């Protein structure tokens, strides 16, 4: 609308000016021509200066647009966006560049995380292989203790196998190559299966597992969910002192189903709680684990539409596997 008015101002000014000149001097003589010439020059100058003003304004808008691009490149996002002829273009460029920068930053973080993961994987493999080579040398130099060295060799090979198995499962989940085969089973059945799988560790540390709460029906992939629960319970067993206990509490309400696993170990600080699901992170660097179990458990639970929450009671730590129910489907997990 404003542009249309500006376009009409000059023709209207010339028309009304001509009418005024002819009104005061209706004869077509040199005086009339002179008046018309003067009026034309005045209107022409006005048009020229208006054009220059618009040109200066456009150049200023272009400078602001260039300044915006430079500021975005310097990671300055809080910038006032003025309403000018480049307003829409400015907004789109701003959105695109901010989006691209976020993608770039995420890619850099992912690359750094991949580098750290590869370093951790290499360290774990090299440690196990170094131990294997050491025991092979000891077998040759000290045949009297060959049975002990063979047993240690077997443990290291089993450790490598377990590590490669965890990595394969993690990569399958990351690639979205896992198809969940959902069946119905009770939560207590799942807990009992986890106990059986960890019986060697339970006996080794003489730890009792106490299960309480009301049982409920889960609809999930039993194999994968069992793997998640084993990892969480194993973590609780590893941090528990010899002769201690681990508590498992089952709960269901109208919103979610949950399996809480509580240990009575040293617990986790706030900082450790924030990092505990990071891959290859270990709160105790001297522990025999790989730092993958809880990360794998979290990925599996998320595949089932749930999450793992950490609670910090007065003593120990509590991990809750929570599965949210679909509206109106009582005992079915959210997809």
pLDDT band at 329 (very low <50, low <70, confident <90, very high): very low
Give pLDDT, residue 69.
66
Whether the per-residue pLDDT at 190 is higher than 90: the answer is yes
pLDDT top residue among 250 and 77:
250
Q: Which residue has the higher pLDDT, 123 or 147?
A: 147
Distance CA 241, CA 257 (A): 29
Positions of E strands within 138-193: 182-186
Are the C-beta atoms of 246 and 207 separated by less than 8 Å?
yes
Other CB atoms within 10 Å distance of the CB of residue 5? 9
Residue pLDDT, tens place only, 269-301: 888 888 888 877 776 666 666 677 888 899 899
Q: What is the pLDDT of residues 113-126, one digit of tens each?
A: 667 667 666 766 77
What global pTM score does this model have? 0.60
Q: How many Cβ atoms are within 10 Å of 62's Cβ, its own excluded?
A: 13
What is the maximum span of the chain, computed from C-alpha positions, in angstroms? 135
Residue 27 has pLDDT above 80, yes or no: no
Residues 6+ apart with CB under 8 A from 328: none
The first and second tokens of residue 332, run together, are: 């079915």
Instruction: Work out the burial of residue 116: count CB atoms within 10 Å of its CB; fewer than 13 is exposed, 13-18 middle, 19 or more buried.
Output: middle
For residue 101, how many C-alpha atoms fall within 13 Å in the half-sphere facing its CB?
15
Is the distance from CB of 301 to CB of 321 less than 8 angstroms? yes
Which residue ranges make up each domain of the chain?
2-85, 115-174, 182-324
Residue (of 259, 272, 261, 333) closest to 303 by Cα position: 333
Residue 304 in 3-state DSSP?
A: coil
Q: Enter the CATH code of domain 182-324.
A: 3.30.565.10
Closest CA to 227 of 286, 176, 173: 173
Residue 335 has what pLDDT? 35
Whether 264 has a pLDDT exceeding 80, the answer reads: yes
For residues 257 and 322, the answer to whether their CB atoms sit within 8 Å is yes
Note whether 187 and 257 are within 8 A (CB): yes
Share of the chain above pLDDT 90, in %: 24
pLDDT band at 107 (very low <50, low <70, confident <90, very high): confident
């Amino acid at each position: 609308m404003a542009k249309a008015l500006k376009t009409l101002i000059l023709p209207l000014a010339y028309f009304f000016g001509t009418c005024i000149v002819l009104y005061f001097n209706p004869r077509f003589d040199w005086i009339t021509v002179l008046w018309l010439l003067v009026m034309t020059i005045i209107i022409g100058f006005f048009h020229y200066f208006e054009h220059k003003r618009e040109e200066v304004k456009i150049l200023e808008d272009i400078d602001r647009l260039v300044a915006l691009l430079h500021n975005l490149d310097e990671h300055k996002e809080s910038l006032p966006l003025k309403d000018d002829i480049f307003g829409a273009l400015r907004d789109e460029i701003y959105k695109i560049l901010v989006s691209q920068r976020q993608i770039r930053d995420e890619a850099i973080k992912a690359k750094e995380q991949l580098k750290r993961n590869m370093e951790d994987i290499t360290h774990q493999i090299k440690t196990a292989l170094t131990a294997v080579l050491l025991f092979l040398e000891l077998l040759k130099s000290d045949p009297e203790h060959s049975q002990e060295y063979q047993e240690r060799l077997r443990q290291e090979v089993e450790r490598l196998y377990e590590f490669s198995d965890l990595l394969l499962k993690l990569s399958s989940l990351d690639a979205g190559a896992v198809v969940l085969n959902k069946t119905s089973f009770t939560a207590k059945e799942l807990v009992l299966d986890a106990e059986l799988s960890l019986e060697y560790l339970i006996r080794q540390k003489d730890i009792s597992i106490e299960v309480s709460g009301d049982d409920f029906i889960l609809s999930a992939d039993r194999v994968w969910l069992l793997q998640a629960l084993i990892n969480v319970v194993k973590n609780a067993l590893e941090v528990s002192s010899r002769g201690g206990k681990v508590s498992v509490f089952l709960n269901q309400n109208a919103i979610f189903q949950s399996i809480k696993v509580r240990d009575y170990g040293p617990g986790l600080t706030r900082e450790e709680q924030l990092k505990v699901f990071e891959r290859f992170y270990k709160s105790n660097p001297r522990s025999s684990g790989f730092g993958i179990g809880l990360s794998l458990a979290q990925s599996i639970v998320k595949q089932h539409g749930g999450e793992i929450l950490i609670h910090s009671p007065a003593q120990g730590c509590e991990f809750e596997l929570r599965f949210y129910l679909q509206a109106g489907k009582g005992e079915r997990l959210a997809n």
